Each structure stands twice: as C-alpha cells, then as structure tokens.
A and B are shown apart, each in its own frame.
Chain A
Amino acid sequence: EPEVTQTPSHQVTQMGQEVILRCVPISNHLYFYWYRQILGQKVEFLVSFYNNEISEKSEIFDDQFSVERPDGSNFTLKIRSTKLEDSAMYFCASSTIYTDTQYFGPGTRLTVL
C-alpha cells in the first residue's frame, strides 16, 4: 500500500541553524501538508500546499518557515533559523483532493539544542 515517507526520522540541530525536513507524498496525491506536535501538546496544522503554492497556513507558519516541492516527488519544510521552541515532531501528510482523507508519514523528531 502506498505510504508517505519522511526523512530523517530524528534531526538534532543547534539553535540558529537551518534545517530541511523531507517528505515523499503518495505519488498521485495533489495536496500536501505539514503538521507539528510539541511534546505533550496537540498536533497543530502548519501549512497546506497545492499547485506549487501555499493554500492555507497557520499563525505558527511565520517567515522562518518555508515549503517547497523541488521536484516531482519531494515536499520539504525549511526552518531558516531554528529556535528552542521549534523542537517537536513534524508530520507530513498528503491527499488526493483537499476534501479527501489525509495520509500521514511517520514524522521527523526535531531537537533544537
């Protein structure tokens, strides 16, 4: 069964460094999403992406964050200058259309020291 994959599974970085989290959505899906979960808190929506542009973003998704689909398969989340409070599990998801079920990857745990 097709699945969403994410790399790396765990990323450790120093505060102020840039990180790129990578996702490979399911191949025939058109909508892509990033969510995050700070330890002990809710899973929070960050951004959705369709047709090479952001379709919706939350207030969390400020100028430090960006998303890109650099080729036909990858979908990336970049954090330009990481802060301690960016430490979280980051989930990528995809769906065929925006009304359909979102399928999630296993997540990348980001630790900012």
Chain B
Amino acid sequence: GDSVTQMEGPVTLSEEAFLTINCTYTATGYPSLFWYVQYPGEGLQLLLKATKADDKGSNKGFEATYRKETTSFHLEKGSVQVSDSAVYFCALKLSGGSNYKLTFGKGTLLTVNP
C-alpha cells in the first residue's frame, strides 16, 4: 500500500543551521506531496505542497522538491530559527476520484536552540 517514510527524530540544531528532513514515499499512482507542521499545542498546519514531479513547494523559507525518480520530497531550510521548533510531517495524497485520505509519515521533532 501507499506509505511515507521520514527520517527518525528528534533533530536538534543551533539557530542559523541548515535543516534537511528526509522523506520518501511509496505510491501506486501519482500522488500530491505535502509537508505539515505542528507547533506545540496546535493542530497540523500545511507548510508546503507539490502536486507533480519536479514541482518545488516553498513557504516561510522552507523548500521541498518533488523527485519522482527517487520518490522523495525532502524538506530543507537554509537557516533555522528557534521559532521553527515543531514536529514536521510528510504526507501524500493520491489524485483521482475516491481518493480522499492523506497518508502520513511518523513525524520528525525539530528543536532549534538559540
């Protein structure tokens, strides 16, 4: 079945460090790919998305490129801030009729220290 695999956390970085969180997927069709973020005490918020191969999603300094050849959607940020501390979830959604659900990875806890 469809699945998402994220790098295990937790990830601890110093402020202004470079961030990469790896995400790979297995899907039977052509999925859309998402990164959601969960700040402490809040719900899942969409961070960015990409709907087809080679698309790059970006938001708040974060980027991820849909790589069909490697079935990956790695999240990157050039310089993290303390306020980026959160849990990050990679997810996919198949396109087409009767496909409603998001399939999530386990989440990666990021802690950024000043």
A102 contacts the other chain (CB 8 A): yes
A65 at the interface (CB under 8 A from B): no
Count B interface residues, CB 8 Å. 23
Contacts A41-B106, A42-B104, A45-B101 given; does A104 touch B89 at CB 8 Å? no
Stretch at the interface among B23-31, B35-43, B60-68, B75-83: B35-43
Say if the beta carbon of B46 comes within 8 Å of chain A: yes
Tell whether B70 is near chain A: CB-to-CB under 8 Å.
no
Cα(A79)–Cα(B36), bound, Å: 27
Contact in complex: A55, B105 (CB < 8 Å):
no
Of the candidates A4, A56, A98, the one whose C-beta lies within 8 Å of that of B43 is A4
Residues of B within 8 A of A55 (CB): 98, 100
With a cutoff of 8 Å between Cβ atoms, the chain A residues found around residue B106 in the complex are: 40-42
Within 8 A of A (CB), among B47-102: 49, 89, 91, 95, 98-102
List 10 tightest A-B contacts by C-beta distance, closest first. Answer: A45-B101, A48-B100, A104-B44, A43-B104, A106-B43, A104-B43, A56-B100, A105-B43, A42-B106, A98-B100
| A→B interface (CB under 8 Å) | 3-4, 6, 31, 33, 35, 40-45, 48, 55-56, 58, 91, 93, 98-99, 101-107
Listed by A's residue number, 17 A-B pairs whose Cβ atoms lie within 8 Å are: A3-B43, A40-B106, A42-B105, A43-B89, A44-B104, A45-B101, A55-B98, A55-B100, A56-B99, A56-B100, A91-B43, A93-B44, A98-B100, A102-B46, A104-B36, A104-B45, A106-B42
Apart from A43-B102, A91-B43, what 19 extra A-B contacts exist at CB < 8 Å?
Answer: A3-B43, A33-B100, A35-B104, A41-B106, A43-B104, A43-B107, A45-B101, A48-B100, A48-B101, A55-B100, A56-B98, A56-B100, A56-B101, A93-B44, A99-B95, A102-B46, A103-B46, A104-B36, A104-B45
